[in-house]
Structure 1
Amino acid sequence: MEELTKRLAPTSDAARRRDLDARRVEMLQAAGSAAPAVVLGVRLLKEELDDDPAERVARALDHPDLVKRMKPEEWMLLGESLRSHRHYDRAVEILAKALDRLPARREDLLFALGRAHFGAERYAEAEKLYLKGAAVARPGDTQAIFYYHASRAAQLLGDDARAEQEMTQAVKVAGPGRPARRPARKPGARKRAELFSPAPLAAGPRVVFASMAPRKRTARKARAQPAPRASPPSPMTAASGGAAALVQRLRTRLAQKRYSEAEADLRYARQRFAREAEADATIAYGAALVADGRGAEALTTLRGLPHPSDRYLASEVDYWQARAHEADDVAQALGEYLQVLRAPVPTHFAYFARRRVAEPALAARLAEELKTRTAEVDRRVAAGDLETARPIQTDVVLLASDADRPREVEKLRGIYEKLPRYREVLELKPDDFPRFPLPTPPLPESAPPSSPAPAREPQRLDLLLAMGLFDDAIDLVPVRWGLTPPVAALTRSLALQLGAAPRGSIYAAEVLMRSVPDDFVPELLPRPLRELLYPRYFYDRIVAEAKKHGADPRLVLSVMREESRFDPRAKSAAAARGLLQFIIATARDVGRTLGLVDLNAEDLYDPAVVIQLGAKYVADLSAQFDGDPYRTAAAYNAGPNQVKLWWRLSPEPRPDAFFSSISFDETKNYVRKVLNSYERYGEIYERAGPTGGLRIEP
């Protein structure tokens, strides 16, 4: 077997070679060939610690005879790989062994040990290790990172007072932040009460603070050719511990209504950590003021934020400004909600804005504005000025009530039909697929006129499609239909869907959407295109398992779309597998509650198994969070303990406030995509009514 793997390796791609080499390590260990097993295994771990072959290697090397042969630096590699695959207890033992022998790597090893305990939810032990690391760490950002993570552990233990002390230490010892702050917006820079103002603000990069919460790892692109490391990697995060700690301290103080101290934190964030913390700190402070009924102060705070360049962040700022204006300037609030609904990106704040616009408190002014705008549309249409009428009618559609919206949508359709670029989208249809009898291909032009016409075979793709064998034709479909023009992309997407190639099908539909005008109302997109963007693969099985376990089938479907694009063979570089991207440790934990014992990695590629696991896991999370899809989706990504903390620190027990309280960018983006899909599935298949803005993508 080992000889076979050696022969196959040169003809395989990088990922396959790693897999083959990992199996060689297992065979060498089983055969008692300790020395070559260690040499090969260590080389593979130096290339990558988190993927599937790395776990095979780590488990093979975690054997007394092999561990004895390894150097302390190699113990560190082994321990980090075991930790990344949630073998926390063994990771702690191996890393502690390395700690005694590697004084030069003491900081990294203490941090890695803290992460292992944190992952196992042993927060008290993690906090002690982080504090021990802070005591020996170099002054500056490294020390701040230790204090920040110690504060996270303390806060998850429920001790906000001790956590705040550690956050304060992190802020105190942190190195200087990055300046280069742009000028703030002036309070009067945006026109007041202008419902149809220019495009929304654009937004800036937000600092990413990596989550150490125990959770399933999300997909990353595998590297084509891993590069071996010269030494074990440093697990220390590159994000500023001081900036992260300052924002978290501000959120903690706001939850306790200590506004003057939180305001001091905001000022400090603007002075010292402008590029890293100012946006998060400003939104957190502004949202808390809105929740406390202090709208004028909230507006002053939010307007002090430099002009954002990130459009998702811009919509979040607009949304909270709109909520701040509701009490005393309804027209301005409606204008800012409209900015959110118009956003050129699929911000989830569009869904929150739609709900706020429907509130009774805004109804009178909304009716007045809609009447004025409707009259303007009629005047423009009568004058033949359809290009001007179109954006005004689009805004009317976005603001219309559920009762009036169908009528306004049809009115907009009438305008679209007279504008070529929009009419092309309305009339978009896929090409017809070949059917029997297939036409006979023409003779070559050089053939003599009198020669008999020989029987000629139709092209293979035509035969396969005519027979309905779409799954056998998926390699040929992209050859016939490219991603442009739109009709080709639509046909390609449909053919790939019929061939059970969901990832390629969704991708083709998403590429097609780039050619659709940015302000095209989603309800007027051709229904086949909407269904291709949001397909319901495995839906009958999802419904059956969701009913059995008490899960929301639409939420399971939305999670599946985000996790794998419905590809049963999906596998991340971090060894998450299948439709719902379980890692094997989580799958076994959930499987035991269902009586599924001895699950192995291959089982996670079986839709029947993984949908059962996913429905049960989503149901369990949902039960913890009162059926709230926002907290359930966040917990699927970041773990329930972290979600409980975000909810506790949220300024209001509402989805919008909770969403703004999510402090991990990865999780916030994940929740946005899952809940956007959740809403769109309801619109398309359950007649839930339109609930978002202009962008249909998640």
Structure 2
Amino acid sequence: MRSRPESTEALFWLGRSAGRAGNAEKFAEYLTLVADAKPRTRRSEEALYLLAQDAADNAEIARSRAYLARLLRDYPKGVWTDVALWLQGWLAYKKKEYPAAVASWGRLVADEPGSRWRVPALYWRGRALEATRQLSEAAKAYRTLLDTSPNQYYYRLRATERLALLTKKAVPNPPSPVAHPLQAGGANGIHARKARALRSLGLTDDAAEEWSEHVRSRPDERAGLAEACGAFLDLGRYDKAMWVGSRILRPLFVQEGGQAPIPGFWQCTYPLGHIDSVRRHAGERSIDPHLVLALIREESAFAPQAFSRAGARGLMQLMPHTADLTSREHRLPPVPPSSLETPEVNIRIGVHHLADLLRDFGENLSLTLASYNAGRQPVQRWLQRYGFADEVEFVEDIPYTETRNYVKRVLGSYERYSSLYGKPAAAGGQPAGGGRMQAEKKRSGE
């Protein structure tokens, strides 16, 4: 079929719209026309990948693999080549075709060094090599991941676990990040001077705004960034501190090979926001406070007035209906939706909700976090479909992209908080989640 580029674009979006509306027949019809279009357009390759992913989601593995093979043949250096190689490897791994998985992921690692799929490919290539008893090569894959991916905390955690099992000894952790004191006086410029003056007058909101303007106007002044981070933490504006850490400092951290770009980088990027409330309520339910902090960090970036499109509110992004049910179950005072923007209220209800999910899912963090994000019923469906013989494999199988990435982000942040600030013991015994790794090893017989 020969078609004009604009008609191919229209067909592509008709197909995407049909898919979102649940019309699988029209989705496949329109995207097949796009994939077959002559001449090819930038949407042809994407259509092939979407058809492959849809087939995989519907357990039509042979059809998915056919689409992927065609994509990789016709677009060997395309925009979607890396994710196609990832999915090709994953489908082979799930079929226990480990040499094929090793080959797909090996090509991805070699040919796509800048791809975001490189790190998961390194980890799962190691797992596939283990399955074929190529243990030294598997260990090499895990070490490559640890040596080259300082910012990928979830996969670093998983690779460290596998290396420890392979070598029968604990893998030395890199030195824990040092919590340097944040020094005042490093910033220059009118906004910094105004911010200090406003802070001395007790005008904290105005001071925070001036520090924000300083960061925007002088993003390359590292001493100023350090002082701004310290000021935001002192003002209780943990969301602003994270904004500096994540948007400005983290790219420098990656660029400089995992070296902290300013003395207070870690406190700024992983703040102990609302720590008194977190410790008190986490202690009441025997939950590790660092787990709560990690969840808050990924849910709202410590913004008390965060409001999602779905209606979730506050630090722990609680839906008003969930907050109401939780407060009733635990005989807490009624919770008007607007009160969820109050940190103390949100943390109290959110910790109870998190603890209830931990109880319902046997203290397993991956299942608990997936349920926190997607709800109990979807997680129960996934357990029935995929089983739970391997926790890490289950996480990769989560069909909701948002939930899959959410679980990884929270677990990665949890590892960072524990590494940075130590592993506290909550009141009432071992914090929930503290035995996750041991329980996982026991289940798998390792």
TM-score by length of 2: 0.71
Hey, what does 1:81 align to over in structure 2? none
1:349 is matched with which residue? 155
* CA shift digits 1:29-72 (9 cap, x unpaired): xxxxxxxxxxxxxxxxxxxxxxxxxxxxxxxxxxxxxxxxxxxx
How far apart are 1:613 and its partner, in Å?
A: 1.3
Inter-partner Cα distance in structure 2 for 1:330 and 1:241: 35
Aligned to 2:184: 431
1:606 counterpart = 2:415: no
Q: Which residue of 2 aligns with 1:267?
A: 65
Q: How many angstroms apart in 1 are the aligned matches of 2:93 and 2:204?
A: 51
Matched, 1:323 2:100: no
**CA separation of 1:572/1:140 partners in 2, compared to 1, >3 Å: closer, same or farther?**
closer
Summarize the Cα distance change of 1:536–1:429 in structure 2 as closer, same or farther, 3 Å threshold: closer
**1:532 corresponds to:** 268
Aligned to 2:91: 285
C-alpha deviation, 1:681, in angstroms: 0.4
Does the C-alpha gap of structure 1 residues 285 and 271 become closer, same or farther in structure 2, counting only changes over 3 Å?
closer
Aligned partner of 1:334 in structure 2 is 139
Per-residue deviation at 1:495?
0.5
Is the CA contact (8 Å cut-off) linking 2:229 and 2:241 kept in structure 1?
yes
Query: SS of the residue aligned with 1:567?
Result: coil
1:686, distance to aligned residue in structure 2 (A): 1.2
Deviation at 1:176, TM superposition (A): 0.9
Change (3 A) 1:616 1:313: same
Q: Which blocks of at least 5 consecutive residues in structure 2 are unaligned?
A: 1-13, 37-44, 73-79, 188-192, 425-446
Relative distance call for 1:601 and 1:297 in structure 2 (3 A) is: same
Structure 1 residues 349 and 593, CA, compared in 2 at 3 Å: closer, same or farther? same
Aligned to 2:98: 295
Which residue of 1 is the match for residue 255 of structure 2? 518
| 8 Å Cα contact 1:638-1:667 kept in structure 2 | yes
Between the aligned partners of 1:140 and 1:430, the Cα distance in structure 2 is 52
Do the aligned partners of 2:358 and 2:368 also contact (CA within 8 Å) in 1? yes
Separation in 1 of the partners of 2:255 and 2:15? 50
Q: Determine if contact 1:469/1:499 at 8 Å carries over to the other structure.
A: no
Residue 463 of structure 1, CA deviation: 4.1
Figure out how many residues of one structure are paired with residues of the other and give that number.
Answer: 384
Distance 1:240 1:145 in 2: 19
Q: 2:172 is matched with which residue?
A: 402
- Structure 1 pair 552/428, CA: closer, same or farther in 2 (3 Å)? closer
**Residues 144 and 533 of structure 1, relative CA distance in 2, 3 Å threshold:** closer
- Please give the per-residue CA displacement for 1:292-350, whole angstroms capped at 9, x wherever unaligned: 5x533432454576955773312111211112223543332233223322137536222
Give the corresponding residue for 1:638: 374
The letter of the residue matching 1:338 is R
Distance 2:385 2:90 in 1: 10
1:330–1:362: 8 Å Cα contact kept in structure 2? no
1:654 shift after superposition: 2.8
Instruction: State whether residues 141 and 173 of structure 1, in contact with CA within 8 Å, keep that contact through their aligned partners in structure 2.
Output: no
Q: Which amino acid aligns with 1:298?
A: A
Deviation at 1:464, TM superposition (A): 4.4
Of structures 1 and 2, the larger Rg is shown by: 1
User: What TM-score, normalized by structure 1, do the two folds share?
Assistant: 0.48
Q: Measure how far apart 1:487 and its partner are.
A: 1.1
SS of equivalent residue, structure 1 residue 311: coil
Give yes or no for contact 1:278–1:305 (8 Å, CA) kept in 2.
no
Cα distance in 2 for partners of 1:429, 1:622 equals 36
Q: Is the 8 A contact 1:546 1:615 kept in 2?
A: yes
Name the CA shift for 1:613/1:592 in 2 (closer, same or farther; >3 Å). same
Residues 182 and 230 in structure 2, CA contact (< 8 A), matched pair in contact too: no
Q: Distance in 2 between matches of 1:550 and 1:356?
A: 28
- Report the AA paired with residue 331 of structure 1: S
Which among 340, 362, 371 is matched to residue 167 of structure 2? 362
Structure 2 residue 439 is matched with structure 1 residue 686: no
Distance (Å, rounded) in 2 between the aligned partners of 1:305 and 1:485: 37
How far 1:248 sits from its partner (Å)?
A: 2.1
Seen in structure 2, the aligned counterparts of structure 1 residues 461 and 170 have a Cα distance that, compared at 3 Å, is closer
Cα deviation for residue 244 of structure 1 reads: 4.5
Match of residue 7 from structure 1: none
Structure 2 CA distance for aligned equivalents of residues 582 and 682 of structure 1: 24
1:513-566 per-position Cα deviation (integer Å, ceiling 9, x unaligned): 3334635446x7766321221111122212222233344432221111112221
Gaps of 5+ in 1: 1-137, 149-168, 181-205, 208-237, 251-260, 365-399, 411-424, 435-458, 689-698
Alignment of 1:36-435 (within 5 A): 142=18, 146=22, 175-176=31-32, 179=35, 243-250=52-59, 262=61, 264-271=62-69, 278-279=84-85, 281-289=87-95, 292=96, 295-300=98-103, 302-303=105-106, 307-308=111-112, 311-326=115-130, 327-341=132-146, 342-343=148-149, 346=152, 348-359=154-165, 361-362=166-167, 401-402=171-172, 430-432=183-185
Q: Contact between 1:483 and 1:512, CA under 8 Å: does it hold in 2?
A: no
- 1:483-523 CA deviation, whole Å, 9 max, x = no partner? 3211111111110111122221111123123334635446x
Q: Distance in 2 between matches of 1:141 and 1:357?
A: 45
SS at match of 1:507: helix
Contact 2:233-2:241 at 8 Å conserved across structures: yes
Contact kept, 8 Å, 1:541 with 1:611, in 2: the verdict is yes
Q: Deviations over 1:607-659 (max 9, x none)?
A: 22211210111112212222122222222212222223334444763332122
Q: What secondary structure, in the 3-state scheme, does the structure 2 residue paired with 1:631 have?
A: helix
1:238-294 deviation per Cα after TM superposition (whole angstroms, max 9, x unaligned): 9998545411233xxxxxxxxxx84x24432325677598456424323325xx5x5
8 Å Cα contact 1:582-1:604 kept in structure 2: yes
Identical pairs, percent: 23
* Structure 1 residues 560-589: Cα deviation after superposition (integer angstroms, max 9, x where no partner): 111222121222344322111223222222
Quote the residue 1:477 is aligned against.
Answer: 211
- 2:359 maps to which of 588, 602, 623: 623
CA distance in 1, matches of 2:240, 2:208: 9
**Aligned counterparts of 2:179 and 2:287: Cα–Cα separation in 1:** 36
**1:659 maps to 2:359:** no
Matched residue SS, 1:676 = helix
- The answer (yes or no) to whether the contact 1:340–1:353 under 8 Å persists in 2 is yes
Q: Distance in 2 between matches of 1:675 and 1:531?
A: 18
Q: Structure 1: how far apart are the matches of 2:33 and 2:70?
A: 5
Matched letter for residue 246 of structure 1: A
Q: Deviations over 1:92-122 (max 9, x none)?
A: xxxxxxxxxxxxxxxxxxxxxxxxxxxxxxx
Q: 1:317 to 1:170 in 2, by over 3 A?
A: farther
Q: CA deviation at 1:675?
A: 1.4
Counterpart CA distance in 1 for 2:93 and 2:387 is 7
Pair 1:633–1:140, CA change in 2 (3 A): closer
Q: Is the 8 A contact 1:569 1:577 kept in 2?
A: yes
Q: 1:310 to 1:347 in 2, by over 3 A?
A: farther
- For the residues of structure 2 that align with 1:296 and 1:283, how far apart are their CA atoms? 9
The whole-number CA distance in structure 1 between the counterparts of 2:297 and 2:194 is 32
1-side partners of 2:298 and 2:20: how far apart? 34
- Gap change, CA 1:350 and 1:624, over 3 Å in 2: same
Letter in 2 for 1:591: S
Q: Which has the higher contact order (CA 8 A, sep 6+)?
A: 1
